[in-house]
Amino acid sequence: MLTSLPPEVLEHICEKLRGIDLKRLSLTSKWLYKVAFRQLWRSITIEPAPESERHVINHRGPPQPFIQSTRELHFDAGIEQGARRCIHVTDWLGSMRNWIDNEPQEEDTWQRNGNSFGLGYGKLVRVKYECLAQRAMAVLKRFENNQLEHFSWNYTTCIPSEVLEYLSLNHPSIQGMSFTTDPFCSKFNRWSRTSDLNLSAFCSLRRLSWKAPMGFHFDNIAKLIQANSAHMEDLEIDLQSWSREWDNRESRAIHHQDNPEEWDRTSASTMLARQIFGLQSRPPDSSERPSFPRLRHLKLTRLPLKDEITREMVTPESISFNELRSLSLRMCLYWMSFLSQALESGISPRLRKLEILDFYLHTPEETAVRKTAAVAGLLDSFKGLEELFISHCGPASALEFLEHVTGHEATLKWFVHHQRTRDQDEETLMSRMGDDVADFGISQVERDRIRIDLSQNPLSKLDLEFIGLTCAPVYLKDILLPFVLKTSLKVLHIRQTGVNMGSSPSWVFNQALEARMREAERNDAKKMDVSLEDRAEGDIRNGPEYIVTALEERKEWKTPPLHQSFRDFADWVFGQEGIKSLEYIVTGDLSHGNRYCKNNSLICRSVGEGRKYRVISQGIGGPEWWDVKSRFGSALEACPVENITLEY
């Protein structure tokens, strides 16, 4: 059938396919391989091997004829790596050498031979980072001038200055750049302590993503964005949360020449927002602020939308709010004022994707209600959303909020709702991170009402493919009952925020029972003396059947035993009276790859007789994990509350 299609139609089909799907198509026949060849090699990703050694990359890559079709080059350590730090942190000091074909060894470094190292050994460098830089340059030099359209450096490391210099000289017309760096690395420049980035040559950027930048580079980032604001289509700036001491350091890293005193009393993030969006104080007759007339996708994390010093604010008009297709505001101060301003201006949004993450745990109830009302007001002002990701704090009713979501019933397919609250135990180390609202923010009376009358549940109006909730399994059946009569729902994500797992019991795995079983195994006990009443866990039932089931689960799935409350829910949802269309339940926090893989699991239907489902831990992985992440990855990662890189 495919062979009967015109080549230009097949090429268009290939342009729509990605990854493994495109590869599978190319392997079906020699003719289809020729048609798919250009698209198949359009993007190349360079990954370290092993993943733990990011400086060990293959600089040779595919044969030269293959890369002639390449337009996108990605250096990517993968999203599975969780919290990473720059290579500099564990690097060795040694003399400059050629590491294109040979890896640096510890016995050749200053740490091992410090007493015998002299000036004759040449310039001292950080050898792993130097190895990475040399090999990255070897890869880049294989491409013809102006061949690359997109370049990404997502290694959570400093960017070698020679890499950017080479790109600026040989690929100045590049249209997309993506960086993930380490904002806490103090050794980012091998030769000095000043900014070593020169991005002025890149004047054709349409897409820019910079995650976890350091304060030293804020000025470079702002100038780069300003120079490309007229044609910028996709902009993502993801700042990291740092202590007040670190913020003071970053805000003074590059002194403001006109008024250094003003710089010193302005936070680094505010200074960046001021430069990007032109929030400086202006006389009435001054020129307009920088604008982004072609912006379609905007994603900001921890970037304030108002300058508290100048009192200037980002306006909806300056970012072409009425033309945006996706908007993500994660922990951005004054986001509520920005949305209110957009509503007051009468702008009719055309958003297809909206993500709002509010993370001020000490929000008074009155303020929490106003914040929820601001989001609800925006949702009521237009239709057409396909993806909605919301994370907020406070006691707002989830059912009341869902009434505003139903206005997008004709188009909405992915819905994420995380609700967090202030931890009741202020003595715990993680109390400042808050805790998940386990009951979906609804009372027992409301649960009884939506269980008896499904029409009272706003979810009955939505044909969702994906839903992600911070809700304990014991409450989920009543909430998800409308999907029993539907065929739309494919994935349920039970999000339990990873940072809370140290102080809060898992909703899925019985870790207390697992600990006692491990202790019994270590003691080589023939019989496990397990208490059948565990107040901390709350669901161990009297009788030996529970223990037998737990032992079978550990043996079969290589995971801790399940809570009985989760077993009951899984038996229902995958049973005859459950949700027939459901393919997967994903549990845990996947906002940062494999960071919490020990607590993350995937539950899918079991084939054949016996159990109705099986559990696959994220650490084990497999085709099911690949499938769900490739289809719903952005929804699983939505609304992260932690840094990409932890402060050190």
pLDDT in tens, 64-115: 888 888 999 999 886 555 557 888 888 887 777 787 888 777 766 766 555 5
Q: Over range 6-10, report the average pLDDT.
A: 63
For 102, the token pair is 């040979």
Q: What is the pLDDT of residue 10?
A: 62
pLDDT score at 429? 42
User: Residue 15 half-sphere exposure, CB side, CA atoms within 13 Å?
Assistant: 6
Structural contact between residues 431 and 492, judged by C-beta atoms closer than 8 angstroms: no
In this prediction, residues 27-54 reach a mean pLDDT of 73
DSSP 255-300: --SS-HHHHHTS-HHHHHHHHHHT-S---TTSPPPP--TT--EEEE
Model confidence at 476, pLDDT cuts 50, 70, 90, reads very high
- pLDDT per residue as tens digits for the range 171-197: 999 999 999 998 888 765 434 445 567
Phi and psi at 627, nearest 5°, equal -65, -50
Q: List pLDDT tens digits, range 272-322.
A: 999 999 888 665 555 566 689 999 999 999 999 999 888 899 999 999 999
Owner of token pair 């489902």 = 613
Does residue 619 lie within any of the structural domains? yes
Task: Please state, for a pLDDT cut of 90, what percent of the chain lies above it.
Answer: 46
Name the most confidently modeled range: 332-341, 415-424, 527-536, 550-559: 332-341
The CA angle 482-488-494, to the nearest 5 degrees, is 70
30 — pLDDT class (breaks 50, 70, 90):
low
What are the structure tokens assigned to 153, written together? 């450096």
Q: Which of 111-125, 198-212, 473-487, 499-513 has the lowest mean pLDDT?
A: 111-125
More confident residue, 467 or 534: 467
> Which residues have C-beta within 8 Å of that of residue 60, sequence separation ≥ 6?
none
E strands in 370-527:
387-393, 414-421, 435-436, 466-469, 491-494
| 462 in any annotated domain | yes
Q: Which pLDDT score, from 0 to 100, does residue 37 have?
A: 66
**How is residue 214 written in tokens?**
């350091």
CB atoms within 10 A of CB 22: 19
Q: Report pLDDT for 340.
A: 92
647's CB contacts (< 8 A; 6+ apart) are 184, 240, 241, 242, 243, 246
Per the prediction, the chain carries an average pLDDT of: 83
Residue 614 pairs in a beta bridge with: 604
115: Cβ contacts below 8 Å, ≥ 6 apart: none
Indicate the helix (H) or strand (E) that contains 151: strand 150-154
Residue 642 belongs to a domain: yes
pLDDT one-digit tens code per residue, 356-409: 999 776 667 777 788 889 999 999 999 999 999 999 887 778 899 999 999 999
pLDDT at 361: 64
Q: Any bridge partners for residue 509, and if so which?
A: 562
**What is the number of alpha carbons within 13 Å of residue 640 lying toward its C-beta?**
22
Residue 428 in this model has a pLDDT that exceeds 50: no
Asked if residue 51 is part of any domain, the answer here is no
Q: Which pLDDT score is estimated for 83?
A: 57
Q: Identify the helix (H) or strand (E) that includes residue 127.
A: helix 127-140
Dig out the tokens for 596 from the structure. Answer: 């919490």
| Domain assignment of residue 234, yes or no | no
- What is the per-residue pLDDT across 218-268, written as a single tens digit (0 to 9) for each? 889 999 999 999 999 999 999 988 766 666 666 555 445 555 555 556 788
Count of domains observed in the chain: 1
Residue 40 in this model has a pLDDT that exceeds 60: yes
What number is the average pLDDT over the span 564-569?
94
Residue 559 has pLDDT above 70, yes or no: yes
Q: Which residue range forms the structural domain that includes residue 437?
A: 351-509+562-648
Q: What is the pLDDT of residue 534?
A: 45
What pLDDT score was predicted for residue 36?
Answer: 65
Domain contains 113: no
In this prediction, what percent of the chain has a pLDDT beyond 70?
78
Per-residue confidence (pLDDT) for residue 431, from 0 to 100: 45
Q: Is residue 592 part of a domain?
A: yes
Q: Is the pLDDT of residue 577 over 70?
A: yes
Rounded to the nearest 10 degrees, what angle do helices 218-227 and 268-277 cross at?
Answer: 10
User: CA-CA distance, 466 to 412, in Å (whole number)?
Assistant: 10
CA distance 389 to 358: 11
Per-residue pLDDT, 262: 55
Does 133 reside within a domain? no
Which pLDDT belongs to residue 537?
44
CA 62, CA 68: separation in Å to the nearest integer? 10
Report, as an integer, the average pLDDT of 496-516. Answer: 85
pLDDT at residue 207, rounded to an integer: 98
pLDDT of 579 > 50? The answer is yes
* Rounded mean pLDDT, 125-141: 90
> Global pTM?
0.88
Nearest to residue 509, comparing CAs of 468, 542, 473?
473
Q: In the predicted model, what is the mean pLDDT of residues 586-614? A: 89
The predicted model gives 19-39 an average pLDDT of: 64
Distance (Å, rounded) from C-alpha 203 to C-alpha 120? 43
